[in-house]
Amino acid sequence: FWGVSRDDASARREPLRAMTRLARFADRRVAQLSGGMRQKLGLACILLHEPELLLLDEPTTGVDPVSRREFWELLAGLVSARGITVLVATADLSEAANLDAAILLDRWRASARGSFADLLARAPGVVATLPARDVPDPAVLARDLSLPPRLVEARGEEVRAFLVDWSRERAGGDDRLARAEISDHGREDVVVARFGTERSM
């Protein structure tokens, strides 16, 4: 058990099975478990050692939404109950937003850090969403609004423009956006505004 005695492993096994809700699947082989169950089993195996630090690399990739939520709830419970520090590498901003702090990497260098509220405040602005029929060419809209092309995106029947440093009042008073719905910006907008390049499109 890699440094864990059989007695300690036996004592910790059942609580971990209960915590991960895997007790009723104890007779299944690993190959018979779903992706989410395998992730939780892997976490349980690590927790046999009672670590103070967990390093997780995209732990929920390929996991169904229900198992993903259960996995994050399990981790949150561990942090709260045992004081474990968890360092997660993920490209999923919705998952990263639930963590206490985030570090954004650009070419493997830390370019911003803090809570997601802090990161959102670093790129203030609003989003204008227009019907695609009103915007034949998003690049033209980007030019008209003096925006980098990467900040104007066609999404099905809509065109979405992130107006960096614009206020709702300014957007609402601009005739070019008369038919636009104005909303708050999100996490992806900040990342694209800070790190996106024309080549990344």
pLDDT tens, 138-186? 999 999 999 999 899 998 899 999 998 999 999 999 999 999 999 998 8
What does the pLDDT look like over 52-101, one tens digit per residue? Answer: 898 988 888 877 788 788 888 888 887 888 888 889 988 887 787 778 88
**Whole-model pTM above 0.75?**
no
Helix (H, G, I), strand (E, B) or coil at 184: strand
Sheet holding 158-164, edge to edge: 152-155, 158-164, 125-131, 181-184
Give the start-end residues of each E strand in 90-143.
102-106, 109-114, 125-131
| C-alpha span between 88 and 167 (Å, rounded) | 34
Burial 54-70 (b: 16+ CB within 10 A, else e): bebeebbeebeeebbeb
85, two tokens: 């520090």
